[in-house]
Structure 1
Amino acid sequence: MTHLRKGRRKYYDFFSHIYDAFIRMHSRQDEDDTRKFLVDAAHLEDQPAPRILDLCCGTGSVVLAFESCYPESVAIGYDFSHGMLGKAQEKNVTGRVIFVEGDAALLPFADDSFDVVTCSHALYELKGETRQKALREMKRVIRPDGYVLLMEHEIPQRPVVKLLFYIRLLSMGSKDAREFVKGGAESLKQIFARVTLNHSQTGKSKLMSCQK
């Protein structure tokens, strides 16, 4: 892992202590609706025991939402931050979700292992070749009829929030990171055979559904 990535991991280890409170303040009542939108997009209704992988899972909200809908599933949350995974494990009251610490660009799973792979509001944190490797790894581990679901923020409409959003983009420093957050679907078509772009009802998130 590079020095930069180690620094980011320390940042997220620290941020894990306030992450859930920050998300509640930022998303307000939209948080549950956004997760439901993501779960519904997986099309797992006919699979009583799906295999689910949530990359960059943070404190586990998305993978826990999947597990609550599909209690017979094999659900794995995967993140490089020990602090985030610790907070996720605290919320894992059923004990059915498996949390794994590791690098998104080097997944320790066999080819065609999962029915759905998700990455919610996190892929933009990966820069350049690291992101490309992570996307190729997602494609490798998803089953031929499965979905890779990538959710990212829409550009905010409120002036102050929009300004902060663009400041965040500039802080990334990477041109392709900025382009990914603004658009995303076109670059994904270089990796996946099929990419569909949808928007959440709240208008705050976009979802890119990718298939092999």
Structure 2
Amino acid sequence: MTRGEPRADKDTPPASGPGLVAAVLEAFPALQALEGPERALLAEGLGRVVVPAGQEVFQAGGRCPAFVLVLEGSIKVSKISENGREIVLYRVERGQTCVLTTACLILGSTYDAEGVTENPVLAAALPAGSFARLIEMSSTFRRFVFSAYAVRLTDLLMLVEEVAFGRIDERMAQALLTLSQGGQWNGTHQDLAFELGTAREVVSRQLKEFERRGWVTLARGCVTVRMPEALAALRRQGS
């Protein structure tokens, strides 16, 4: 990802300095806890990056020169096999960082996937040297980096589950319909994870999605099925 020219948009932050730092802190609230010297180091290294849609920002085998914090737009990160088949690993959007970039910077390794902008991207780039110094000196920055890393690893675990064992949402719908008594299943998320042969974090994330849709209601040690017909329809998709 290379540094770009300023856009005409009046809301675009400056190419560097306090204005860019302010934009980063707004998009990444966890970094607002950085102390004075830490913010100064962040400000010293940050540079604005503007990338048009459809541009490759990194490729397999490439080196990583900077830690990128996305302020606008979306980067699709995918893996392409030798026969040309592609799988989308995740997307990096506003308020997010790239787990592969983090891994490359920490390990000094190269990318093993590619990233392409899906729409125009505005980001802030922190050079590898500044990233390393902040990791070393700031517990706040370390917590921010590794928390984002952990969240993304959970997403990737869910993807592996879907690829290896079929879609987890379909399997969970089947389990809830089969195991619930009178529309209610009593047990913990870990119990359901054991039932499905997956991780508790995967179960929790999918149950929250079902709750968001209004299909179930979650309580401590209990899942109440509100819309069994919706779960049944989802289950049939995998039949």
TM-score over 0.5 for the alignment?
no
Larger Rg: 2
TM-score (normalised: structure 1): 0.25
Q: TM-score under structure 2 normalisation?
A: 0.23
